[in-house]
A and B are shown apart, each in its own frame.
Chain A
C-alpha cells in the first residue's frame, strides 16, 4: 500500500493546497487583509501567492523525489499521480496572480 500512497501523494497535495488557499482566501477577506499593507504589497494577495508558490515548490519536490516504484505500470501511475497534482495546482490556483481578491 506504500505504492498507493505514492500514487496519491500528488493529488493529496493538490487537495490540501486547494482547500488551504480557498480557506486562506475566505479568512483574509473576513479579516480585511486586502487593506493591510506590507513592504511587498497588500497582505492578502501576498499570502495567497506565497502559499501557491510554496505549494508548487512542494509539487516539484514530489516530482523529483517521489520516484517510481514497482513494475512499469506501477511506476507509470506514480509519475502520473505526481503530475496530476502539479498540473491541477498550477491550473486551478493560478487565479491568485490573475484576479482581485475579495471583490
Chain B
C-alpha cells in the first residue's frame, strides 16, 4: 500500500457518460413509491429531512400566527386558554424538535459527502432509519393537536406541572414519548456525521485543510452526542414517573423537580449552539464565495468552534437564575454566559473581515446573510444582557426573553438556512431561480420579523409575561402587541413567497450551468443537479476543490465507477486523510422503515397505556435489529481492490478499524453521557433533594453478592469476546462465542435476581434510581447478548477467517461498557448501603 498519498497516480481516463450510467444504476433509488421507501442514499434522505422539516416549519408558523391573532387585542376571543396553551407549546416544540434539528440533520446528510469529496454518508441505513423515526414521531406529535390532546405545559415541560397530578391524560406523554422517538434520528445523525467527517473525507484531505463546514458539523455532532442524552434520560425518567409512579420528581418521596430542569437545560442550552453552528458553517461557506475571496482566519474560526462547543455546556443554569440557586453558582454560569460571546464574536469579525477584504456581490443568498448579521448580533447582545443575573431577574419569563430567543434562533438559524437554500438550490434542482421573487420574499421576512420582535423587547420590559392569552388590565401593551401581530402576518407572507420562489425555480427555472456561483468547494465539482453517486471517481491527494470536476467525472480519480456492482467508498484515516480501506455500503432496502415502524409500535403502546403488550414490540425491534446484521459480513476473503495505479486496498470486512467500529465508539460516548447524567441524578437527589435519607432498604450482602456474580459473568463474557476474535479461524473461536452467549444470558438472569431483591421503586426516589440503574444494565445486557449471538452466527455461517473478524470487535466494546457501567452502579448501591 502506498504510504504517501501524494504519490497516488491517476487512473486512465474513461468516457464520462457510460461511467455516469454505470454509477447511477448502482446508486440511484428504486423506481415507484415502493422503491422510494427503500432509499438509503444520502442525497434523497437529506432532501427528505429538509423538505419535511420545512413542512413542520410551516405548521409551526401557522400556530405562531394563531398566537399573534390571539394577542393582537387585549381581550382576544380567538382561542380559549386551554387551546392557547396547546398552541404555544406545540409551536415551540415543533420549531425546536421537528424543524431546527431535522433541518440541520438534513443539510448535513445532503451536503457533507459532497463538500468532503465522498459518495455517501458512513451509515446510509442509519440515516434512513433516522428519517422514518423523525417522520413517524412528528406525525404522532402533530396528531395530538388534531385529537385535542396536545401537550400544553410549555416546550420545556417543567414538573410538577407536567406530572400526572397536574397533567392527567396523555398530553404530556405525547411530548415525552414523541420527542424521544424523534431524537433517535438526532442520535443517529450525530454518529453518522462524526464518522463521515473523520473517516470518509477525500484522500489526502487533512483535518486542518477540510472546508470549514466540516469543522462546524463536527462540532455540532459532538454537541448532539453529549447534549441530547440528558434530555432523553429526563424524558425516560418523567415517563416512568407518569406511567409507573416512580418518584424521581416527587418531593414527598425524595424526588426534586429541579432535577428535571437541570436535565432539560443540560440539553436545552447547548441546543442553541447545536442549531447555530451549522448555520455558521453555511455562512463561512457562502460569504467567501460572494466576497470573491478566501475566508479570513481559518484557524481562529476553528479555535472559536472548539471554544463554543465546550463553553456552551457551561451555560445551562442561566435558564434557572430565578429558581433559588446560591449566588456563587449563579456567578459561575453568569460568567460563562458572558464569556461565550467571545468565540461567537471571533466568527462575526472573521466574516466581516472577509467581506471587507473582498468585493461583495450582493446576490440573493447574501441578502439573507445580511439579514443574519442585522438580527443575530442584536440577539447576541440581548443574550449578554440576560446573562447578567440582576437584569435576568427583572426580565425573566417576560416577552423580552421571547424577543431575545427569536432574534437568536431566527437570526442565527433561519436566515442562514434561507441563504443556504437559495445558494444550493441550483445543485438540488439543476436550475436558476426566477428573478425578483426571492428578493421580495427576503424583504417581507426581514421587515416582518423585526416588526414582530423588535418591539416585543419593549412589551417585555413593560412587564408582559410569556404565555398569557389575555391581558384585559394592561391596555398599555395592546398597541405593541398589535404591531407585533401585523409584523408577524407580513413575515408569513414573506415565507409563503419564499416557498413559491423555490417551487417556481424547480418548475420553471432555466437550466443551470455547472458551478453557477464560481465557488471553490468540492460540492460544486459535479454536474447539476447533483448525481446520485456525487463523484464517478474520488479525489486523490492534491486539489480538493471545484476544479477537479472533469477529471473525476472521467474516472481519473480513485476507485472509479462501480465495476463490481456495489456501492464502494474510500475510508481514510481520521487525521491525515490517508486511504485506509474500501467500505462496501448497503444498497436500497426497506429494513429502515420496518425498523422504525417496530420502534414506533413500542412508543404507541406506551402512549396507549398498553404496557403489558410492550414486550411484543420489543421482540419486534430485536427481530428487526437482527436483520441489520445480515449485511454486516462476508463469507469470502477477497484480494485487495485496485483503487489507483499502485494502490490496492482491502475491503472493510477484512479490517478491524471499520466504519462500524468507529460508529460504535461514537455511540458509546453518547451512551456514557446518558449514564453520567443518571449518576448526576443520583448525586443531585442524594445531596440536594428534601426528604432524604430514605427509609431503610433492608438490602444486605445477598444483593451485593448477586450483583458481584453478575459482574463476574460480564467479565467472563469480555474474556470470551476477546478469545472469539483471537481464535476466530480455529474451533476454540466458536466455543468462545458460545461461552460469551452463555455468560451474557447468565448475567442477565443474575440481574433479574438483583431486581427481585430490590425495594418497591414507587416507595422513594432512591429506590426508583436503583431500579433505573438496573434497567440500564439490563438494556445493555440484551444488546450485548445480541452481539454475542451475532458473533456466534458469524462463526457458524463462515463469516470469520484469519482475515475476517465478524462482529467480535463491536461485541467487545459493548461487553466492556456493560461491565464498566454495571460495576459503577453496583458501587453506588454498595455506597448507599454503607452510608
Interface residues of A (CB under 8 A from B): 1, 3-4, 7-8, 11-12, 14-15, 18, 21-23, 25-27, 29-31, 48, 70-71, 73-74, 76-77, 80-81, 84-85, 87-88, 91-96, 98-103
Contact = CB atoms under 8 A, between A and B. Distances in A.
Greatest chain A CB density within 10 A among B300, B332, B687 is at: B332
* Top 6 A-B pairs, shortest CB-CB distance: A95-B331, A80-B303, A30-B687, A11-B310, A92-B336, A92-B335
Contact of B307 (A11, A21, A29, A48): A11
A88 to B, nearest CB: 6
Given A23-B683, A25-B326, A96-B328, A88 B310 contact: yes
Interface in B306-325: 306-307, 309-311, 313-314
User: Which of A11, A48, A84, A102 has the most CB atoms of chain B within a 10 A radius of its CB?
Assistant: A84
B207 interface: yes
A3 B575 contact: yes
Given A15-B310, A88-B339, A73 B328 contact: no
Contacts of B327: 99-100, 103
Interface string B293-311: 0000011101100110111
Contact of A80 (B299, B328, B687): B299
B684 interface: yes
A101 B330 CA distance: 10
Given A8-B306, A11-B306, A1 B574 contact: yes
B243 interface: no
Contact of B326 (A14, A98, A101): A101
B435 to A, nearest CB: 41
B474 interface: no
Given A92-B339, A102-B326, 14 more contacts: A11-B307, A11-B310, A18-B332, A26-B687, A48-B328, A70-B208, A71-B208, A77-B303, A87-B339, A88-B311, A91-B336, A93-B335, A101-B326, A102-B328
29 contacts: A8-B306, A15-B314, A18-B332, A21-B332, A23-B683, A25-B328, A25-B329, A26-B687, A30-B687, A30-B688, A73-B298, A77-B299, A77-B303, A80-B300, A81-B303, A84-B303, A84-B306, A84-B307, A88-B336, A92-B332, A92-B336, A93-B335, A95-B328, A96-B328, A99-B327, A100-B326, A100-B327, A100-B328, A103-B326
Contacts of A85: 310
Nearest to A21: B332
A74 B298 CA distance: 11
Contacts of B207: 3-4
Contacts of B314: 14-15, 18, 88, 92
A80 B306 contact: yes
Interface string B269-310: 000000000000000000000000000001110110011011
Contacts of B687: 26-27, 30-31
A74 B574 CA distance: 14
Nearest to A74: B208
Contacts of B331: 95, 98-99
A27 B326 CA distance: 12
Contacts of B310: 11-12, 14-15, 84-85, 88
Contacts of B336: 18, 88, 91-92
A56 B114 CA distance: 43
A95 B335 CA distance: 8
A37 to B, nearest CB: 19
Contacts of B300: 80
Interface of B: 207-208, 298-300, 302-303, 306-307, 309-311, 313-314, 326-329, 331-332, 335-336, 339, 343, 574-575, 683-684, 687-688
Given A11-B307, A88-B307, A99-B328, A26 B688 contact: yes
Q: Among A73, A85, A100, find the residue whose CB has the most chain B CB atoms closer than 10 A.
A: A73
Contact of B208 (A12, A21, A77): A77
B332 A22 contact: yes
Interface centre among A18, A92, A93, A98 (most CB of B within 10 A): A92
A20 B452 CA distance: 42
Contacts of A74: 208
Contacts of A22: 329, 332
A80 B301 CA distance: 11
A93 to B, nearest CB: 6
A80 B329 CA distance: 27
Contacts of A25: 326, 328-329, 332
Contacts of B688: 26, 30
Nearest to B335: A92
A94 B335 contact: yes
* Most chain B C-beta atoms within 10 Å of own C-beta, residue among A7, A71, A85, A88: A88
A52 B314 CA distance: 16
Contacts of A91: 335-336, 339
B349 to A, nearest CB: 15
Contacts of A102: 326, 328
A95 B332 contact: yes
A37 B467 CA distance: 47
B684 A26 contact: yes
A22 B336 CA distance: 13
Nearest to B686: A30
A63 B659 CA distance: 34
A8 B311 CA distance: 12
Contact of A93 (B208, B332, B343): B332
In the complex, which of the residues B208, B306, B328, B335 has the most CB atoms of chain A within 10 Å of its own CB atom?
Answer: B328
Given A18-B336, A30-B687, A76 B299 contact: yes
B450 to A, nearest CB: 33
Nearest to A12: B310
A47 B583 CA distance: 53
Nearest to A96: B328
Contacts of A92: 314, 332, 335-336, 339
Contacts of A12: 310
Contacts of B311: 88
Contacts of A99: 327-328, 331
Among B310, B311, B574, B684: residue with most chain A CB under 10 A: B310
A74 B206 CA distance: 10
Contacts of A21: 332
Nearest to B327: A99
Nearest to A72: B299
B301 to A, nearest CB: 11
Nearest to B338: A91
A81 B306 contact: yes
Nearest to A80: B303
Given A77-B208, A94-B335, A7 B306 contact: yes
Contacts of A30: 687-688
A12 B307 CA distance: 10
A79 to B, nearest CB: 9
A88 B688 CA distance: 27
Most buried by A among B309, B327, B343: B327
A48 B329 CA distance: 12
A87 B328 CA distance: 19
A29 B309 CA distance: 29
B558 to A, nearest CB: 23
B835 to A, nearest CB: 12
Contacts of B339: 87-88, 91-92
A16 to B, nearest CB: 11
A29 B456 CA distance: 39
